[in-house]
């Protein structure tokens, strides 16, 4: 499959401390990838570089078939180019229904003029219903989002991001605070999402990563320490020493 994002030789320092150190990373179209690593490994800073929140001191970040440099683009332009990010805390509109939250996210993809003359067409209702099905919230479609469980809110937010049809979806610790069955359902949602786009999941929970059943990138001190299947990287002696602390 063709490469969607290529990060090469990227470094970032904060007050002389190298948070990201000559990091290189590639992800293909429709690939699912887990990024793991101990606290302070640079996972958040790495995601911030991809989304344009943090600009690196050196290196390249190349995206899409036209090989555009994301380093020259603002955060909002990078989002428009199809890079979506889900943060750890869900930010759904609690007093709105699941349906309204998904419909709002769908409308966000339209121009302001189109939204002005927009009436919910049956096509959009169908899209919202399909999204609700994809995230497992069909039965809760008309419930207020504030009444949902923490896990359901996370799914709703993933659905809202999917409504915008990103080509690259970055998801930060989706399993945090979830029950085991919610975690299982979340891996299903992410695996399904990665059939039509690339998905990068930053996660600590190893059982969750195992269920994702995808290539894993281990970060340590701002660089890639190991890459491969979960079984492969967890057998790596350096990974065992720095990540598992043995």
Applying CB under 6 A, the residues found at the interface with ligand ADP are 14, 19, 37, 39-45
Map residue 60 onto helix, strand or coil. Answer: strand
Least distance in angstroms from the C-beta of 198 to ligand ADP = 20
Least distance in angstroms from the C-beta of 3 to ligand ADP = 24
Query: By C-beta, is 172 or 182 nearer to ligand ADP?
Result: 172
Query: By C-beta, is 48 or 103 nearer to ligand ADP?
Result: 48
The DSSP H or E segment spanning 201 is strand 198-202
Query: By C-beta, is 9 or 40 nearer to ligand ADP?
Result: 40
Cα torsion 42, 91, 33, 82 to 10°: value is -100
User: What would the two tokens of residue 177 be?
Assistant: 């605070």
Least distance in angstroms from the C-beta of 7 to ligand ADP = 14
Query: By C-beta, is 44 or 234 nearer to ligand ADP?
Result: 44
Q: Is 139 exposed, middle or buried (0-12, 13-18, 19+ CB in 10 A)?
A: exposed
Least distance in angstroms from the C-beta of 170 to ligand ADP = 12
User: What would the two tokens of residue 206 be?
Assistant: 């190893």
């Amino acid at each position: 499959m063709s490469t969607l994002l290529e990060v090469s030789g990227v470094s970032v320092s904060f007050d002389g401390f190298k948070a990201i150190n000559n990091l290189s990373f590639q992800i293909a179209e429709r690939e699912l990838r887990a990024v793991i690593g101990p606290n302070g490994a640079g996972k958040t800073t790495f995601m911030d570089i991809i989304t344009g929140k943090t600009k690196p001191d050196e290196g390249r970040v190349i995206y899409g078939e036209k090989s555009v440099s994301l380093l020259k683009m603002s955060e909002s332009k990078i989002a428009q180019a199809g890079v979506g990010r889900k943060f750890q805390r869900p930010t759904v509109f609690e007093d709105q229904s699941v349906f309204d939250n998904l419909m709002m996210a769908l409308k966000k993809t339209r121009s302001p003029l189109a939204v002005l003359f927009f009436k919910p067409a049956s096509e959009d209702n169908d899209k919202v219903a399909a999204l609700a099905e994809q995230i497992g919230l069909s039965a809760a479609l008309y419930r207020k989002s504030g009444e949902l469980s923490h896990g359901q809110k996370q799914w709703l937010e993933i659905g809202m991001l999917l409504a915008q049809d990103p080509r690259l979806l970055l998801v930060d610790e989706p399993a945090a605070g979830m029950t085991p069955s919610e975690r299982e359902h979340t891996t299903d949602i992410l695996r399904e999402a990665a059939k039509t786009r690339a998905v990068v999941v930053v996660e600590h929970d190893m059982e969750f990563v195992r269920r994702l059943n995808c290539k894993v990138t281990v970060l340590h001190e701002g660089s890639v320490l190991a890459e491969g299947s979960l079984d492969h990287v967890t057998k790596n002696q350096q990974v065992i020493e720095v990540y598992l602390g043995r």
